[in-house]
Structure 1
Amino acid sequence: MSRQLKYLMALLLPVFLHVLLFFISIPWGYTLQRLDEALLLLMIVYIVTAGIFAYLLKKHAIKFLVVTYMTLVCLILLEISLRVFFGNSPLLRYHSIALHNPNLSMQALVTKKINGVDDVVKFTTNSLHLRSPEIRNFSDVDISILCIGGSTTECLPVTDSKTWTALLQKELSKKLDKNVYVGNAGKAAMFTVSHKQVLKNYVHLKNFEWIVILCGINDLATFLRDDYDERSTKQESDAVLYYKKLFLVNLLQALHRQNYATQDLGGYYIENRRLKRKNAKILTEIYGDFDLALRRYRKNLLDIIQICREKNKKLIFMTQPTLWHENMSLDLQGMLWQSTLRGSYTPKILAKMMDDYNNVMLDICDQKKVYCLDLAKSLPKNKSVFYDDCHFNNSGCQKISNILSEYLFEKIE
């Protein structure tokens, strides 16, 4: 065996180990994510570089070999140090992409194009990854409620104290004359697959007696964007690959997410999307397998019910309200931004699709004897509730709190 080949084999040993561990840990049907693709590109560059040093820069091959293995040793020592010294740090207890990082504190000016909210939004999360007040001891709480959902639960750009979850805690405590704690586990873009991950993996779920889930809009969004499979794989296989379980990788992910929320605080994203919808082709019929989308939604809701029953949680579903309806005024249509790669569906079609999702929920809850608050039927479709297609302003949050607190009061009493 030539010296060049020996150098090359020694240099490629880490690559062989990586490939072996990768295929051992990868689940069936896994779709590569950006981190996976970046590592694949880095591996290709390394293989080419190793070949160059082994055959073209033979005099420096041994130096490159030493640098390679010293780098690996340093990374291993760093990983061990993180586990030993920072294993209990909340920054490293990264539950999944379905929850915010803990202890966030941000504020921003809100665009004037969003009606019914404060000029400045304050966004904070506590040590439990929730957009809620800090809590140290659940034994002091009489009633604990965890609210799970997407951006309509998260409630940007409504400031902390005016979200419907914060108002619910205040109103229900007064109605019941008890100490009520409401945790807001909402995060923009999360859908029923995400909610299942929270119910399965959230370490603080054990402290909550009631689970309230407002969902549907982001499941519909996966149909409109035709990315259900991609997003489901990302949610379900988060941290399954061996290197995604490393503390160092989790630390870098946590630091990357530490200073921003999924949706921009000030709502400027919505301004751009409104312009995109305005210039898009108008769609008057549904494209894609909508029946498949509804079947997926049905299955995920059934899974959620099963998980809650296994964990002995009291579950309440809420149907998703939207501004969409037939014969919308031009003023209200100007608030919309939902669009697809094909174009923009009419408000009538969007309303029909959302109604179908909500009807799936109502049907399942009736069959399985699960509490369901038909929030979509309880709210008016106007500016007193919404600032865009589906998101609630201050007044809308207050209305939801009034309705839900009364509903929960009856169930708890």
Structure 2
Amino acid sequence: MRHAARIIAVNLGLLLAAIIAAEAVFGTWLIEDPLSRVNIQRNAFVKVDARDLYPGGAVFHFTRDEFGVRGGGGAPHAIDILTIGGSTTEQLYLPDDLTWQSVLSRELKAAGRPVTIANAGIDGQSTIGMLRNFEAWFPHVPGLRPRLVLAYVGINDAYLRPKSTDRLGFSSHFKKLQQNSAVLRLWETALGALNARKAKLNHGRVDWSRVEWSETARFSDTRSAWPDWQPAAYRQRLTDMVAAIRSMGAQAVLVTQRRGDIRQRDGRLEGVVGEDGLTGLDHARLLAEANQVTLEVCGETGAICLDLAAEIDFGDGDFYDFLHNTPNGADKIGRWLAGPLLTLL
């Protein structure tokens, strides 16, 4: 028994020593730069291979500037539109010049409204992470005072688990640990990736010629398929985010989202049948409820809503998986957004 206890004690000691060493090397406890405490890439120049995801996909370099922003194209004080969201905003597998932000910028310039648009999307991020950005990231970017903050939201929040919403109520001590601990950031990144995989929110190529389509949803209501869906919590986070955007001196623009696993065929709505038996129609119903909350928050707060989900007609070749757009899809988004945004600039 004593021998076993000694082995356990030694192993725990080694584990503790490894954690301390990791924190000393990779943590930010002794670093004064607040941006180093945010789990974002800075000065990134990463090779990305999109050749297997969509026709015309290539090898290119994904970039972020010294402040962690993609496609800023200039100093923070020059940014007119700051876009926030998850992977559908970040668009990891699209080159900088093919994202919907780049398309939007070109469209506005052609219409006589040249603007600088920055991409602050973070893969996997929900409004929980976006709210934290207004505390830990954006205030520390010198001179950042955009005219508009455009939030492309809905999908990631619809699949959140109940415990995720509790993070907003964490104590200041935990938030300090969260900002400085390398081990905790690694754990959160791994957990987020695992949750995204479970909810099928991660990237991956879909062979659209082989999917099965159905006109029938598996469940007759959203609650049966997703008992964890909490629209009231999402509503509160959106309301808080509108307030955070306004505290920057910016106008809040919320944009609804669409999925790629539904389609109109011969006047009928169809959804892709998943391995779990759920169809795109089940997922579309859940996202429609999230989008409705977004629209209602705009009505309650006076924020501007752009109902992309109801207005854009996506088609074949616009998504490389059930969530993420190809350059063709991003082009449609950028061109569509230019119309209503022209009146706000």
Same-fold call, TM > 0.5? yes
Structure 1 residues 109 and 236: alpha-carbon distance in aligned structure 2, compared to 1, 3 A threshold: farther
Residues of 2 paired with 1:365 and 1:393: CA distance?
29
CA contact (8 A) 2:145 2:250 kept: no
Q: What is the match of residue 107 of structure 2? A: 171
Match for residue 208 of structure 1 among 126, 146, 152: 146
- Residues 175-195 of structure 1: CA distance to partner in whole angstroms, max 9, x if unpaired? 3344x2211111221111111
Q: What is the match of residue 199 of structure 1? A: 134
Larger radius of gyration: 1
Alpha-carbon distance, 1:360 to partner: 1.5
Q: TM-score, normalised by structure 2?
A: 0.73
Structure 1 residue identity aligned to 2:296: D
CA contact (8 A) 1:117 1:394 kept: no
Structure 1 residues 247 and 368: alpha-carbon distance in aligned structure 2, compared to 1, 3 A threshold: closer
CA contact (8 A) 2:273 2:280 kept: no
- Please state whether the residue corresponding to 1:212 is helix, strand or coil: strand
Q: What is the match of residue 37 of structure 2? A: 94
Match for residue 311 of structure 2 among 363, 375, 378: 378
Q: TM-score, normalised by structure 1?
A: 0.63
- Please state whether the residue corresponding to 1:165 is helix, strand or coil: helix
Residues of 2 paired with 1:309 and 1:271: CA distance?
38
Residues of 1 paired with 2:299 and 2:202: CA distance?
40
Match for residue 229 of structure 1 among 162, 166, 171: 162
- Please state whether the residue corresponding to 2:300 is helix, strand or coil: helix
Alpha-carbon distance, 1:351 to partner: 1.8
Structure 1 residues 175 and 118: alpha-carbon distance in aligned structure 2, compared to 1, 3 A threshold: same
1:9-408 correspondence runs (5 A): 48-49=8-9, 87-88=32-33, 93-96=36-39, 100-112=40-52, 114-135=53-74, 137-139=75-77, 141=78, 144-178=80-114, 180-202=115-137, 203-204=140-141, 206-222=144-160, 228-233=161-166, 237=170, 240=174, 244=178, 246=180, 270-271=204-205, 283-285=218-220, 286=222, 287=224, 290=227, 293-325=230-262, 343-408=276-341
Residues of 2 paired with 1:363 and 1:242: CA distance?
34
CA contact (8 A) 2:80 2:117 kept: yes
Structure 1 residues 217 and 246: alpha-carbon distance in aligned structure 2, compared to 1, 3 A threshold: closer
CA contact (8 A) 1:128 1:204 kept: yes
Structure 2 gaps of 5+ residues are none
Identity of counterpart residues, as a percentage?
A: 20
CA contact (8 A) 2:157 2:234 kept: yes
Residues matched between the structures, number: 319
Structure 1 residues 177 and 317: alpha-carbon distance in aligned structure 2, compared to 1, 3 A threshold: closer
CA RMSD, 1 decimal: 4.5
Structure 2 residue identity aligned to 1:382: G
Greater helix fraction, Structure 1 or Structure 2: 1
Alpha-carbon distance, 1:131 to partner: 1.7
Residues of 2 paired with 1:391 and 1:51: CA distance?
44
